[in-house]
Amino acid sequence: SAVISQKPSRDICQRGTSLTIQCQVDSQVTMMFWYRQQPGQSLTLIATANQGSEATYESGFVIDKFPISRPNLTFSTLTVSNMSPEDSSIYLCSVGTAYEQYFGPGTRLTVT
Amino acid sequence: GESVGLHLPTLSVQEGDNSIINCAYSNSASDYFIWYKQESGKGPQFIIDIRSNMDKRQGQRVTVLLNKTVKHLSLQIAATQPGDSAVYFCAENIFGAAGNKLTFGGGTRVLVKP
């Protein structure tokens, strides 16, 4: 299994600002995933990020709101843009495949 | 749309008893299911998986049962311990925008009473 770290672990942000979340993996991986977990709810896939290609977004998520970078096989960032209180969630990255995924600890975002 | 859901949002169980967590899925084409455990402040952790060509799989203190006829999945935890207190999610593998992806159910919180 891979060891995954995320930065920051938590943040409190003002509405209208943007936050970039980093995901670092201790080994090279092809596929990385970004999820959102709203308070008391389950995980929802935002996008799949493969190195060397544009991220693929799920229905309801758009690149302008959640731009993703994947510069290499061990790192990815997710930006939450023009934040509103509705963006308050835990954001998690994971690596692996659709059959086996390992998750980072998450970034707890609160938008005021 | 297709979804995975759970019957019970919270399960309170006495330490040492067995726990059963249920999950219903709606996509009959799903061929793979996973149970995850999420402790407070952590990301989900893989517990056990099962493919659609099986109806039962056992791990250490855990058993997953799959009933494809009624599209039902369950996780049984034997001799529940305080460390089992967490939220449990089932997930199914379905085809999405970027190919196969995991879709998660709503989650069940398990509280173990000493």
pLDDT for residue B7 is more than 50: no
Q: What is the Cα–Cα distance from B52 to B39, expressed in whole angstroms?
A: 27
pLDDT for residue B1 is more than 80: no
Cβ-based contacts of A102 with chain B (< 8 Å): 46
**What percentage of chain A exceeds 70 in pLDDT?**
100
Locus of tokens 């855990």: B62
Average of per-residue pLDDT across B7-21: 88
pLDDT for residue B3 is more than 60: no
Write the pLDDT tens digit of every residue in B56-98: 999 999 999 999 999 999 999 999 999 999 999 999 987 766 6
Q: Alpha-carbon dihedral of residues B72, A42, A2, B110, nearest 10 degrees?
A: -70
| Highest averaged pLDDT of the listed ranges A4-13, A31-40, A42-51, B86-95 | A4-13
Task: Read off the CATH number of the domain in which B58 is found.
Answer: 2.60.40.10
Q: Which of B42, B43, B97 lies nearest to residue A56, judging by beta carbons?
A: B97
pLDDT range class, residue A50, cuts 50, 70, 90: confident
The domain total for chain B is 1
Write the pLDDT tens digit of every residue in A54-109: 899 999 999 999 999 999 999 999 999 999 999 999 999 999 887 788 999 999 99
Q: Do B42 and A106 touch (CB under 8 A)?
A: yes
pLDDT for residue B2 is more than 60: no
Q: Which fold has domain A4-111?
A: Immunoglobulin-like (2.60.40)
Q: Do B43 and A57 touch (CB under 8 A)?
A: no
Domain extent listing, chain A: 4-111
pLDDT for residue B19 is more than 80: yes
pLDDT at B6: 42
| Highest averaged pLDDT of the listed ranges A7-16, B24-33, B36-45 | A7-16
Q: Which of B43, B49, B100 lies nearest to residue A103, judging by beta carbons?
A: B43
A57 contact partners, CB below 8 Å, separation of at least 6: A46, A47, A63, A66, B97
Domain around B66: 4-113
pLDDT for residue A24 is more than 80: yes
Q: Do B93 and A103 touch (CB under 8 A)?
A: no
Q: Do A43 and B44 touch (CB under 8 A)?
A: yes
Mean pLDDT across chain B: 89
